[in-house]
Amino acid sequence: MAASLRAIREAALDGRMHNIFTRRTQLESLQKTLLDEADAIQDAIRADTGYAAPEAAMEYLLTLNTLKEYHQTLNIDRALQDEYAIARGEDATSRRDPVGIVYIVPTSYTVFYSVLVAVAGALTAGNCIVIELPNSLQALPVLIKKLLASSLDRSTIAFVPTPATDEDLGPQHMRLHQDDHLPGKVVAVVDRTANINHAAEALVSARFSFGGRSPYAPDLVFVNEYIKESFLMALVQASVSFPLSASTIHEDEGRPEKDQEEREGLRVLSSLGRGEIVEADRLDPKALPDTLTGGPLLVHTVRSLDHAIDLSNLVGNLRGAYVFAHEKSAKYLTQFINADVSFVNHIPVEVLGKGFTFKRH
């Protein structure tokens, strides 16, 4: 493999991607190819994932938008100012040197977005790229290789079917491993002051969109007992109204309905639409699996804001929290629920579709 990556190592050593004009040209070429192949890209996403057409379109559009944002950061005037800062007797505090080679191991979730955005980010920073894409009969890996090979300088990008060693990549490289399974869970709190129908529609969409595989799909919903019945009815209605696709989740398909309803402490409210909505009469948050990705939407009743905070924090490692409440109540909840990120009265589709990771510092 070291011989096959020789051209990439040489391109990294001679700084072929350092020039800002080259980087802009490469990104523009990639953008044009993605625009020209819009239908083929979305068809491949749907074929490999079973997403509904709007979900495939969302992944495609998020990718294009991120490439546009990267392109906008490549300001030629500013780059020239930075390059000649020392010649003007100024400090070059904004100078940044590329790594050389960025080695990308993609996630299996939103693979098109994950690969293309990582490639665009590496190019924008002036790096060459090696992507680990195992040989596959799926449509997306083949299409991704074709799109990148036809858009970019072939001496600056390469694909390998098996892991490359440090020797293969040379001394100037970094590895980008995109996590398939992020630790932790995502909770939602629906307070008595919330807009019930809006909260129900947002949570059903977030739980069951993208095949239920988003790392930021809500796993557990805490609803105030005062609005419990109205909220559960709204959830069921939202689930039934939600459009079906080939990625519809039915984990318990084939299991008798009576068995489902008799699972200890759980009551299945709906198994129509895209997946199950389950009310948990008794719940030990600490006993929940580390990840519920692809599972049902669990709903549990709470008595107050403090009760919701206590149960949320008992869950443990929280990737995220969605809060549906009046602004003052939402402020209190987000202040004391120990989540990496919180969103109030909405769930951004960008978070669900991208699947990136938020970290507390």
Give tens-digit pLDDT for 12-68: 998 889 999 999 999 999 999 999 999 999 999 999 988 889 889 999 999 999 999
At residue 75, does pLDDT exceed 90?
A: no
pLDDT (tens digit, 9 = 90+) per residue, 283-315?
766 556 555 455 788 899 999 999 999 999 998
At residue 344, does pLDDT exceed 80?
A: yes
CATH code 3.40.309.10 region(s) in the chain: 185-242+264-349
Instruction: Give the per-residue pLDDT at 259.
Output: 46
At residue 249, does pLDDT exceed 80?
A: no
At residue 355, does pLDDT exceed 70?
A: no
Instruction: Give the per-residue pLDDT at 304.
Output: 95
Instruction: Give the per-residue pLDDT at 253.
Output: 44
Please name every residue paired with 279 in a beta bridge, in sequence order, or none if there are none.
267, 299
For residue 137, name the pLDDT band (cuts at 50, 70, 90).
confident
At residue 265, does pLDDT exceed 70?
A: no
Least confident of 241-255, 266-280, 290-304, 318-332: 241-255
pLDDT (tens digit, 9 = 90+) per residue, 90-134?
887 877 888 999 999 988 888 999 999 999 999 999 999 999 998
Instruction: Give the per-residue pLDDT at 246.
Output: 44
CATH architecture observed for domain 1-177 = 3-Layer(aba) Sandwich (3.40)
Instruction: Give the per-residue pLDDT at 336.
Output: 96
Instruction: Give the per-residue pLDDT at 103.
Output: 95
CATH code 3.40.605.10 region(s) in the chain: 1-177
Q: Which residue has the tokens 């069951």?
A: 208
Instruction: Give the per-residue pLDDT at 178.
Output: 79
pLDDT (tens digit, 9 = 90+) per residue, 152-210?
998 999 999 999 988 898 888 999 887 766 678 899 999 999 999 999 999 999 998 88
Which homologous superfamily does the CATH classification assign to the domain defined by 185-242+264-349?
A: Aldehyde Dehydrogenase; Chain A, domain 2 (3.40.309.10)
At residue 271, does pLDDT exceed 80?
A: no
Instruction: Give the per-residue pLDDT at 290.
Output: 55
In a 13 Å sphere around the CA of 57, the CA atoms on its Cβ side amount to: 3
Instruction: Give the per-residue pLDDT at 339.
Output: 93
Mean pLDDT over 226-253 rounds to 73
Instruction: Give the per-residue pLDDT at 358.
Output: 52
